[in-house]
Structure 1
Amino acid sequence: MNFLLQASTATNIPVVFIIGAVGMAVLTVSIVTLLILHQRKVARFNATVQEMEKEQQKVLLNASIKMQEEERQRLAADLHDDAGPLLATARLYLNENLVNQDKASQLQAIFQARQIIDDTIQLIRNISHSLMPPTLKNFGLESAINDLFQKISGSGTINASSRFHDYKDRLKPETELVVFRIVQELVGNILKHSNSSFIHLTQNVHDNRFYLRIHHDGRGIVQSDFDKLTKSTVGLGLKNITSRTSLVRGSIVFEKDISQTYYKVTLEIPQENNTTYE
């Protein structure tokens, strides 16, 4: 009897091993299959993310190109519509028949032409200032922004103020200009759309990062709204903000304060100082 049990057990041992081996093989194949499927899923996800990033970069590039083209068209229009007629009028006063006129008429024509030329010089100066504000070039971002906010507050329609807490060294000139344009665009949007009673800007530096924060108590947007608008066919101004922010390797965040009483926009860029200006 014992002999039969031992024989039976001996014959079942290989079967158990076979079943175990088959089970391990199935488990191994299943794990490998799951890993392969997971890797493919991750690869598809990464490809989708890369495609979205490329599309976003394309949108930003198109916005930047459109912004630059609009600025060129505006400059060309100002020169053509304003400077062109002024110079043409001055030329009329200084025509070839001037030498045949009496002295009084000559002096009057020269005086009129000089007045027109002075107006043209002022016009070109104004265009130049719009491209690079003299306050920004000569005195820096802090002075330019303070001047902007003082003018807004001086209008009497809104209480505007700005304060720089840590601006001992100026940023690079090209960075200052980009940041100033971003602030202009943000402030312009707030003035147009928010119906705020106040707008306040603060600046500080932390961990070698430069921060500008704009607060206002009117209607505003949060980050999800900003992201949606920059991907739509509208909101060119917001696309310009995004493209300019990318130029200075920065980031911008739109949010509502915890108190739910005002909106806040935070611009963050690397602190890259440059104290050499021409």
Structure 2
Amino acid sequence: MDIQTLQAKAAQIRMDLLRMIHHAKTGHTGGSLSNTDILTALYYHVMRINPSDPKWDLRDRFVASKGHSVESLWCILADRGFFSKEELATFSQFGTRLIGHPNNKVPGIEMNTGALGHGLAISVGMALAAKRDQKEYRVFCLMGDGELAEGSIWEAAMAGAHYKLDNLIGIVDRNRLQISGSTEDVMGLEPLEEKWTSFGWHVVSIDGNDMEALVNTFQAAPSIPSKPTLVMANTVKGKGVSFAENVPHWHHHVPTDEELEQALQELSVVANGMLKGEAHL
């Protein structure tokens, strides 16, 4: 897909996840909206995957360490054909596979996640296995910025640098908000880029809602041999829905009927405009 088609796809995925959350009457809305561009770039343009063979040995791996924002991932996996889109209607219902965190009973999910702070350590193990098995796949790990208060993240960061895992790409969804407010009020993270650099990572800071920047950055990784890459993706929580952007309440707010209708109208304008080459996110 070209950049505008990817942007239109991201708008479509945002509409899908809002419908899914509204139907289920539960979900983590704000963080899923903020990470949609990241996942769209990865799953439609960057990662080497095969929906008809989810366990293909040479596939790139993706670990959603911020597992609570799974809604965008479920919608993308269904859209890519890992499972039927009709199954999205079962999200968070009794007996479903599509629970509120990644579940490896679902094709396309590498690892159950949700206990924050675990995903990067898992990804380090996957990347180290690839090196030792001499297999050329990359491992992408998406973390939330609030999650970085967990000490296990920094233990894993040390290990990733120690083992020179240049096939490992960490991504921080830096939307600066978590369930209880600003990350800097809850547990200050800055200077965040300098911290990752001091742990031995190559750090690239970009606009995490800029599709072209995401594609170019992910495709270039690893740009420094023998160093893991950390992409600081500066995003907007609630991205794409004007009245949800940068509003902490939308961390797990379920849109009302009226809010859903307004959000879908806004996003459909973006999607249609992108396909006509008339709009920008």
Q: TM-score, normalised by structure 2?
A: 0.25
Answer with 1 or 2: which has the greater Rg.
1
Q: TM-score, normalised by structure 1?
A: 0.25
